Structure 1
């Protein structure tokens, strides 16, 4: 670890698992570069400071009601958080900035989904850098939404879903990001805010690397004219002694079970921390896995099946038909699972963290995206990097069985593993001295240390 450089960073993560973990990984990376780290976090999905005792924590009240805290409409939940966190954040941030007993604040690093951070940082003359927790390709697409709307791709019409988006080949109209909401305009407002917040910031950090998303990163550099720092994969930069934040307790029994399985024989199934299934979809997955005759580790998050607490929809005798080939848990230590020699395929929702973790461990993917950037990630995995099989025709047990057999037993899976081994090596090289992410991280540190004078010039 480098010596303290006398500068403090204040970080504000969005309190959702897929956003929180990369922010904390970034915090660890910058801590080991010599910065003092202060985390401002909400009472909703509150952090456990004991997991990162080397940080300073400040809890702010989000004042969410009981009904708001369990809101299933993700965009409405984000709207509540933006509205109710503004004043508590402003007060906390101002107090931290004015605290003369602490190191000077070099900058604020925030999630762009929190749209109030721009005005608060400007009012206190503190530079603000954004962390984008999705891919560079996703950011390039949403920044082009006005163009895509003008071309008639958005809003998406059923009659055009299969059409190619020529400006972003190989995407199709159905792959364009969307999050369903009771008020569809909320998504377009979020996209507009994300783009505006980026242009007004002092820089953009990405959890990606040049060799994986070179074209998208070049597009963004032309579009935004602000410093862009691809310093990922974050989870490969973070020392093994540090941990991420988990809102669900991990079941480590799955590692013991994996130890009993043959090399590259297991299908690991996990659809992330938000996606939900109806009972019919759940049963098709269950029988597709069972009929494949392959061992599987299946994460079934409590409450992820509509109308059920956990495994109640499974028919009587289902477990007995498996003869020990299946292991079902409520949550798993995913990085350790993907790194295990027994895992041969990852069936994923195609969230960006999961996609990047699978690529870095050389594990081919079966892709079942649900919303947001997941459709785009699945398309890139299947059609650009050619390391995944996109289940595009819904969840049907026969299709599931064929997809598993294709990747586990046929040439297609071997070809993906060959491609993944090359990308995995590039991911490792980029983090070494002289690599693109290594250099980008050094550039980020230099940039942060120079921000004090830049902020004064910008505000004068």
Structure 2
């Protein structure tokens, strides 16, 4: 076992969801790569089991990252659940309470053990929904930070909503526009759908707003975005909170040597060889993340729309997913036979590798923030198919602000099934239409900006280095 004595020990705690595990682990690898740092990544045991089953190296022994003496290790804890209750949205309130109670107890013991073993924790970093870690840090007199895993625009939205700083849609005025400082005007269906007065997801609204109330406790908020992408919003919100943009984390993490350490909770299917057989910019990549499920009617319309468009495609359709109550619908009978070599359907994909593959022309996405950042930093235009939450805001920015996207849907507020003709037209527009060339040009511009941000001396790289330096300084005080 490699020696960990003398290293600054930064302890990461993730909420057990794919969209929070991946960015936090990527951040951990980047922090470790700065040198003389031991990073411990922690989450409920169920996450460790899923990561291991997906083929990730999750050893409790420190693994070297980079060439500056940094290391990363894993330590999972009991959350009090025999089953993956966080996969059941209707029971999220119950699970959050359970996670906090059991997690607090387990992490207290873990932190004490590290102190006794000569490797005291110098800083705690958590993701949203486990911000009770900040209270734990306070109890142990340990500095704490948080990783914000959505856009700075959404951070600003929750802040302004929670503090009633600007008018938001209400029962009396459900359709009003929202104007916040340093942001474009958002229509009522472009703010996070959880903030709408008639949202069917009140439990998610309570959870987001409830967790956001604790966001003032960390000494630093590390944001999965980059300065050049959201310059105005970051500059404005940085006057209120200690925000430091450190993304795109997936782009930065590509540069370290811990690439065998992955945060995927599902084992990816082998689709890269199939992509290798396709011409450059000829394949449409379709994926709606790990949470969104598609009803049968929507899967059918999407399938025929893709078929009628004539494009080659790689479609991630995880019909066996356990992360939602509702199962995703099935492909129409005979669809795969009719498509032939023109298309490939997989349960899960190595998305970061897929988006950087030269064969991929555009990305049909639910516009979750991880997917949005991966598309932007890979130079891939987006056909936006948002469902709920921050996805609708991301879709707005992709189309109207960053100008790399076309909206196929406006989210659940639209309350309609997107038909096959809409799908066909959007795919043709994104791959060969009037907007296609301009979207690709803009996408490549953001790719270049992302690469510069994470390169040595870039804005995000500097912010990570300054964070590590700050933790080291706090450690010796």
Calculate the TM-score normalised by the size of structure 2: 0.85
1:420 corresponds to which of 443, 451, 454? 443
Return the alpha-carbon distance in structure 2 between the equivalents of residues 257 and 420 of structure 1. Answer: 24
Evaluate the alpha carbon distance shift between residue 94 and residue 240 of structure 1 in structure 2; reply closer, same or farther with a 3 A threshold.
Answer: closer
2:153 corresponds to which of 126, 131, 137? 137
Q: Deviations over 1:242-287 (max 9, x none)?
A: 23222111001x1111112121111100000000111101111111
Alignment of 1:181-260 (within 5 A): 185-224=202-241, 226=242, 228-238=243-253, 239=256, 241-242=258-259, 243-252=261-270, 254-260=271-277
Evaluate the alpha carbon distance shift between residue 310 and residue 391 of structure 1 in structure 2; reply closer, same or farther with a 3 A threshold.
Answer: closer
Q: Secondary structure at the match of 1:434?
A: coil
The answer to whether the aligner puts 1:408 opposite 2:425 as a matched pair is no
2:57 corresponds to which of 19, 36, 51? 51
Evaluate the alpha carbon distance shift between residue 315 and residue 439 of structure 1 in structure 2; reply closer, same or farther with a 3 A threshold.
Answer: closer
Q: Which runs of 5+ in 2 are unaligned?
A: 64-71, 411-416
The equivalent residue for 1:446 is 469
Give how far 1:33 is off. 1.2
Of stretches 51-60 and 179-188 in structure 1, the one that deviates more from structure 2 is 179-188
The equivalent residue for 2:66 is none
Contact 2:285–2:363 (CA under 8 A) maintained in structure 1: yes
Give how far 1:95 is off. 1.9
The equivalent residue for 1:177 is 192
Alignment of 1:12-51 (within 5 A): 12-34=13-35, 35-46=37-48, 48=51, 51=57
Contact 1:61–1:88 (CA under 8 A) maintained in structure 2: no
Evaluate the alpha carbon distance shift between residue 95 and residue 403 of structure 1 in structure 2; reply closer, same or farther with a 3 A threshold.
Answer: same
Q: Deviations over 1:73-104 (max 9, x none)?
A: 374365255344344334334424532x3233
Give how far 1:324 is off. 2.1
The answer to whether the aligner puts 1:164 opposite 2:177 as a matched pair is yes
The answer to whether the aligner puts 1:295 opposite 2:301 as a matched pair is no
Give how far 1:137 is off. 1.3
Give how far 1:322 is off. 1.5
Evaluate the alpha carbon distance shift between residue 77 and residue 262 of structure 1 in structure 2; reply closer, same or farther with a 3 A threshold.
Answer: farther
Return the alpha-carbon distance in structure 2 between the equivalents of residues 183 and 404 of structure 1. Answer: 30
Return the alpha-carbon distance in structure 1 between the equivalents of residues 132 and 302 of structure 2. Answer: 41
Evaluate the alpha carbon distance shift between residue 216 and residue 389 of structure 1 in structure 2; reply closer, same or farther with a 3 A threshold.
Answer: same
Give how far 1:5 is off. 6.1
Return the alpha-carbon distance in structure 1 between the equivalents of residues 200 and 48 of structure 2. Answer: 27
The equivalent residue for 1:272 is 289
Q: Secondary structure at the match of 2:145?
A: strand
Evaluate the alpha carbon distance shift between residue 208 and residue 46 of structure 1 in structure 2; reply closer, same or farther with a 3 A threshold.
Answer: same
2:80 corresponds to which of 55, 63, 83? 63
Alignment of 1:257-406 (within 5 A): 257-303=274-320, 313-392=330-409, 394-406=417-429
Q: Which runs of 5+ in 1 are unaligned?
A: 455-460
Return the alpha-carbon distance in structure 2 between the equivalents of residues 175 and 74 of structure 1. Answer: 26
Contact 2:77–2:107 (CA under 8 A) maintained in structure 1: no
Q: CA RMSD in A?
A: 2.7
Return the alpha-carbon distance in structure 2 between the equivalents of residues 116 and 298 of structure 1. Answer: 38
1:127 corresponds to which of 143, 153, 170? 143
Give how far 1:19 is off. 0.4
Q: Secondary structure at the match of 2:284?
A: strand
Give how far 1:179 is off. 4.3
Q: Secondary structure at the match of 1:91?
A: helix
Evaluate the alpha carbon distance shift between residue 149 and residue 210 of structure 1 in structure 2; reply closer, same or farther with a 3 A threshold.
Answer: closer
Q: Secondary structure at the match of 2:289?
A: coil
The equivalent residue for 1:7 is 8
Evaluate the alpha carbon distance shift between residue 19 and residue 160 of structure 1 in structure 2; reply closer, same or farther with a 3 A threshold.
Answer: same
Evaluate the alpha carbon distance shift between residue 85 and residue 175 of structure 1 in structure 2; reply closer, same or farther with a 3 A threshold.
Answer: farther
The equivalent residue for 1:153 is 169
The equivalent residue for 1:457 is none
Evaluate the alpha carbon distance shift between residue 96 and residue 179 of structure 1 in structure 2; reply closer, same or farther with a 3 A threshold.
Answer: farther
